[in-house]
Amino acid sequence: MIAIEFRLNGGARRIDAPAHWTVLDLLRDGLGLTGTKDGCGEGVCGACTVLLDGEPVRACLVLAARLSGRSVLTIEGVGADAPDPLQDAFATLGAAQCGFCTPGMILAARALLSVNPAPTEHDVREALAGNLCRCTGYVKIVEAALAAAQHVTPCASPRSS
Amino acid sequence: MQQYAPGDSVAYRVIGTSPARADAWEKVRGRPIYAGDFALPGMLHGAIVRSPYASARIARVDTSAARALAGVVAVLTHADVPRNEMRMELPGSMAEATAGAVLATQPVLAVDRVRFHGEPVVAIAAETPEIAAQAVELIAIDYEELPGVYDPVEALRPDAPHVHEGGNVLRRWHLRTGDVAEGFRRADVIVEHTYRTPFVDHAYLETETGIGWIDAEGVLVLRASTQVLEHFRDVADVLQLPHSRVRIEGAYLGGGFGGKEDVTVECLLGLLVWKTGRPTRLVFSREESFIGHGKRHPYVLRYRTGARRDGELVALEAELISDSGAYAALSPWVLFYSLVTATGPYRIPHVHVDAVTAYTNNPIASAYRTFGSIQTCIAYESQMDAVAAALGMDALELRERNFLRKGDAIATGQVLETEPMLAETMRRAWAALGPARAGDGPVRIARGLAASFTPYGRMCWTRDSASAWVGMELDGTAVVRCAAPDVGGGQTSSLCSITAEVLGLPLDRVVAVGRDSHFTPRAGTTTATRQLFMSGNAVLRAAEAVRRHLVDQAAELLEAGVDDVELAEGAAFVRGAPDRAVPHAAIVKAMSSSGRPMQALEKYDAPVAPTIDPLTGQGKPFNDYTFGTQAVEVEVDVETGGTRVSRLVACYDVGQAINRQSAEGQIEGGAIQGLGHAVLEEVALENGINRNPHLIDYKIPTTLDAPPVETILIESGNGLGPFGAKGIGEPAMTPTPAAVMNAVSRAIDRRVTALPITAERVLAMLAADDAPAVPSKERGRRIDGANEADAALGGAATGFRVEGPGATGSARS
């Protein structure tokens, strides 16, 4: 077991975890945060996307030990304090069907909007190309990300959490 | 239609609008607890040992080392399974008259031989996932490889190795109408092609998963990701328990598409829980999902189509051969859907179709969105373009000339009672592609389309039914109870919309709970595009019954006639006098005091028809069909062979959209899934061994592969579902691959006959001198007589045979 101290969704956390655990193991099995999904365990599907110091990473590919001193944002931390434009747009525009890719999609889109608050459709498609969805054909996901961009204030950054 | 409505023409307030789904807000917060998210204190972790061979004898299984490992709680083999078979039976007269199995079975755990790569052999439960994985490695199994058969055509040969005792023919079906020889004699042109489709994976984001425990009453409970709560019966039969002692609690699914229609984790999980007595979780890895669950059937489709020079279709002869894989699963029924849809949505007077599904040592093939309708669409819509080219006729005009209309019979003899609106779906989809674009350099741009028809609801003779309960709470809100699994298509939310509409409630005052085989009224499977049709009607009836009680009570309170009471926005009011109103909460309180029923349990029975004739396919197979067209624009780079679908338009008669964004979402998602089928996806098999069981190798469309999809909804009100709705879940996918094939065929002047349309395949077709050619419309020459066409018959078994003269050239469409 190793001790890991990091920031999770804005709060300080300290947890002992087996050395072989990934961030995905830590979140789901160690902390009971099951909003981060395991779709392949191989870094391909993007369902486990979380933000590590604001950058999107695949939680299944990052060892939990790498979190020490860093900041993680998961879907449970999005919109916790104030309504989140991405969640609002995804919900109202029908971008979530089965919902399994949704947390990863929202975090990947959040990372995009933090560096590019006025993306084009192509920007959105490029940014989300690593997040697979089998239900929606991506139409309403892309629409939702573009709609949310219209409502993102300049201070809304993943680092602010 | 608006049976509940007291007025003549009440506009819908909820139906047809685009509200956020009931589950949307929780899903965007990551809160829904999927089957694999659920945990219980002290739970064990399951793992499955699977066969690395496609065909082998099991000589010896040594579990001693695994059993000796600390933390291993159970190591189970076939000898531990009380009744080691899952059954697929053909009911009633269907079992007679044609060749093939009446009862097909599949072991839960392999006994003395394995028939496919990935077949479960040993089930393990351990204290941690790591120990379970370690135990898997410690199981020693000696296999002796056996000859296998890996192609359905090979499997049908008399000397092929038998996958099961009794031979490799699982099931045959036949469709006969008219006199096909006479039909071909009347034809001025005959076009023949053979089409091949691959194994395709559902590739839902959530793999198969579940958790089980034994509750205080001794009932085995499984919380599983399944489209079919009724699998509690399969689990009970396998464990030799009374059906009443197994309960399946349906979680929200992370996608299904038919892949969670058969039993997946249920029997293995039930076995582990029952044998250990402890809560157990079983999650299939992505690789296990790929090698373990049923796929879309590969087909070989030999099509011969005859037409008059004016474009009238006169004859179709077709042979459909499907690869069932190692076990039966739902193959006979999938093949039956193919039989019924083999003609496409066209009037053809003389039809002769033989269909057979054969066992092989390939992965199991079973249900996958469209259920056998997509393979036939690939063939019949390619044939339409080929016939049009051979006749020198516009491909849309040819279709329009032959489309089924109200009053026409499909080839089974079933007369269509409502207008299919096929021409409208086709013309609107084609027009929406917009102005044609020119290609540039090596990039050729072309368009294609495919019309389609797909059944919704089960076969008429199955006597399908669904039940639902609707009740009022004292605060005037409503609860729906209905055991309809939500696979992500918005099934639950649509039931809320129906209830809100009927009861005059805002949508947020209705909740649909449950999806549980013990606690909610049985609604049947979320398969066969049946849930809106079946459970939607059951909920409609239950809500209408509750509405009658509400209106009776409101009429008393308002001192008005029941015919003058309207319900809207959570209140009852007197028509024409909106100030005379009483809120639902007050009505329900009065109902409670007066003893009026506040709830209703209702059942909807689908219309029943006799079993079809198994020798001729004649009869009424399905109650209704959904018709629609998809049109695409493709860019094909003739230097790299790469194909990009740049535009996609889908137009369907959905009858009535219940939740508009859900209807659109189904179509968008189905079309892009179909696009993957067309240009990307194929399970790579090498003598039955799955060589790409990972998402890195099995490519599904990403945001960059998927073009924007434009959906056009026609709402005829002609469906059999609530408010005239038709089903759209499966029809959404049916025509996409065919439309892409037709577009690419035009782009490269070759008839694409196999999927997926990879760069390698395109380059090979461009390079091959004898590639099947498709004469483009601009160059095509009219065939001057049947003799010329007939003379060309008898060519190669595959590929292009007859399209008349002028079959090569380079004109662009």
* Cβ(B736)–Cβ(B671) below 8 Å: yes
Q: Which of B30, B205, B701 sits opposite A39 (nearest CB)?
A: B205
pLDDT above 60: residue A71 = yes
Q: Which residue has the tokens 């019954």?
A: B545
Distance, in Å, from the CA atom of B657 to the CA atom of B19, rounded to the nearest integer, reads 12
Q: pLDDT band at residue B103, thresholds of 50, 70 and 90? A: confident
Distance, in Å, from the CA atom of B345 to the CA atom of B450, rounded to the nearest integer, reads 11
Task: Tell me which chain B residues have a C-beta less than 8 angstroms from the C-beta of A126.
Answer: 703-704
Closest to B239 in 3D by CA, of B120, B47, B76: B76
Distance, in Å, from the CA atom of B103 to the CA atom of B100, rounded to the nearest integer, reads 9
Please, which residues have CB within 8 angstroms of residue B359's CB and are 6 or more apart in sequence?
B149, B155, B163, B164, B168, B169, B170, B324, B325, B326, B327, B328
Distance, in Å, from the CA atom of B134 to the CA atom of B121, rounded to the nearest integer, reads 16
pLDDT digits (tens, 9 = 90+) for B226-262: 999 999 999 999 999 999 999 999 999 999 999 999 9
CATH code of the region A2-77: 3.10.20.30
CA B93 to chain centre: 25
SS3 content of chain B, % helix, strand, coil (to 5): 30, 25, 45
* Cβ(B668)–Cβ(A139) below 8 Å: yes
Cross-chain Cβ contact B28/A96 below 8 Å: yes
pLDDT above 50: residue B688 = yes
Residue B770 has a pLDDT of 62
SS3 content of chain A, % helix, strand, coil (to 5): 35, 15, 45
- Sequence-ordered alpha helix ranges (H) in B342-421: 373-391, 395-402
Residue B88 has a pLDDT of 84
CATH code of the region B208-283: 3.30.365.10
Task: Tell me which chain B residues have a C-beta less than 8 angstroms from the C-beta of A94.
Answer: 18, 20-21, 24, 661-662, 664-665
Nearest 5 degrees, angle CA B141-CA B330-CA B81?
Answer: 40
**Angle (deg, nearest 10), helices B759-767 and B736-748:** 40
Q: How far is CA B204 from CA B103, B256, B360, B378, in A?
A: 30, 6, 25, 23
Q: pLDDT band at residue B790, thresholds of 50, 70 and 90? A: very low
pLDDT above 90: residue A82 = no
Q: How many helices (H) and strands (E) are present in chain A, helices listed first?
A: 5, 5
Cross-chain Cβ contact A92/B700 below 8 Å: no
Task: Locate CATH 3.30.365.10 in chain B.
Answer: 174-199+295-459+612-791, 208-283, 464-605
Closest to B415 in 3D by CA, of B231, B622, B255: B622
Which chain A residue has the Cα nearest residue B729?
A135
Closest to B783 in 3D by CA, of B353, B225, B391, B302: B391
Assign domain B174-199+295-459+612-791 to its CATH architecture.
2-Layer Sandwich (3.30)
Which chain A residue has the Cα nearest residue B661?
A94
Task: Locate CATH 1.10.150.120 in chain A.
Answer: 85-160
pLDDT above 60: residue B808 = no
pLDDT above 90: residue B697 = yes
Nearest 5 degrees, angle CA B516-CA B454-CA B671?
Answer: 85
Q: What is the ipTM of this complex?
A: 0.95
Helix (H) or strand (E) segment spanning residue B556 = helix B531-558
Residue A107 tokens read as 């975090």
Residue B95 has a pLDDT of 58
Residue B511 tokens read as 């909740």
Distance, in Å, from the CA atom of B247 to the CA atom of B631, rounded to the nearest integer, reads 45
State percent of chain B over pLDDT 70. 92
pLDDT above 90: residue B101 = no
pLDDT above 80: residue B573 = yes
Residue B772 has a pLDDT of 58
Cross-chain Cβ contact A139/B252 below 8 Å: no
Q: Which of B131, B205, B289 to mutate to test the interface with A (most CBs of A within 10 A)?
A: B205
Strand, coil or helix: what is B399? Answer: helix
Domain B464-605 has CATH 3.30.365.10: yes
Task: Tell me which chain B residues have a C-beta less than 8 angstroms from the C-beta of A141.
Answer: 703
Q: How far is CA A137 from CA A95, A126, B129, B696, B733, in A?
A: 10, 15, 34, 19, 11
Cross-chain Cβ contact A34/B34 below 8 Å: yes
pLDDT above 50: residue B812 = no
Q: Which of A27, A38, A97 to mutate to test the interface with B (most CBs of B within 10 A)?
A: A97
* Cβ(A73)–Cβ(A158) below 8 Å: yes
pLDDT above 50: residue B321 = yes
* Cβ(B655)–Cβ(B726) below 8 Å: yes
pLDDT above 90: residue A154 = no
Distance, in Å, from the CA atom of B584 to the CA atom of B325, rounded to the nearest integer, reads 56
Q: pLDDT band at residue B805, thresholds of 50, 70 and 90? A: very low
Q: Please, which residues bridge with residue A7 across strands?
A: A12, A71
Residue B368 tokens read as 């996958």
* Cβ(A85)–Cβ(A148) below 8 Å: yes
DSSP string, B645-702: EEEEEEEEE-SS-SBHHHHHHHHHHHHHHHHHHHHT----EETTEES--STTTS----
Please compute the mean of the pLDDT values over residues B730-747 and round it to a whole number.
98
Strand, coil or helix: what is B613? Answer: coil
Please, which residues have CB within 8 angstroms of residue B60's CB and are 6 or more apart in sequence?
B140, B141, B142
Q: Amino acid letter at B25? A: W
Task: Locate CATH 3.10.20.30 in chain A.
Answer: 2-77
pLDDT digits (tens, 9 = 90+) for B467-497: 999 999 999 999 999 999 999 999 999 999 9
Closest to B567 in 3D by CA, of B492, B637, B479, B478: B478
Chain mean pLDDT for chain B: 92
Distance, in Å, from the CA atom of B516 to the CA atom of B478, rounded to the nearest integer, reads 19
* Cβ(A128)–Cβ(A108) below 8 Å: yes
Q: pLDDT band at residue B209, thresholds of 50, 70 and 90? A: very high
Residue B167 has a pLDDT of 92
* Cβ(B539)–Cβ(B479) below 8 Å: no
pLDDT above 90: residue B194 = yes
Task: Tell me which chain A residues have a C-beta less than 8 angstroms from the C-beta of B18.
Answer: 94
CATH topology of domain A85-160: DNA polymerase; domain 1 (1.10.150)
Neighbours of B52 (CB within 10 A): 15
Q: Please, which residues bridge with residue B627 across strands?
A: B453
Residue B561 tokens read as 């006639």
pLDDT above 60: residue B807 = no
Can you give the C-alpha Rg of chain B in angstroms? 28
Cross-chain Cβ contact A37/B254 below 8 Å: yes
Closest to A97 in 3D by CA, of B206, B433, B303, B755: B206
Residue B11 has a pLDDT of 87
pLDDT above 80: residue B9 = no
pLDDT digits (tens, 9 = 90+) for B62-99: 999 999 999 999 999 999 999 999 998 776 566 555 55
Residue B455 has a pLDDT of 98
pLDDT above 80: residue B800 = no
Distance, in Å, from the CA atom of B22 to the CA atom of B492, rounded to the nearest integer, reads 8
Residue B788 has a pLDDT of 35
User: Does the predicted TM-score (pTM) go above 0.90?
Assistant: yes
* Cβ(B338)–Cβ(B355) below 8 Å: yes
Residue B801 tokens read as 């045979």
* Cβ(B567)–Cβ(B551) below 8 Å: yes
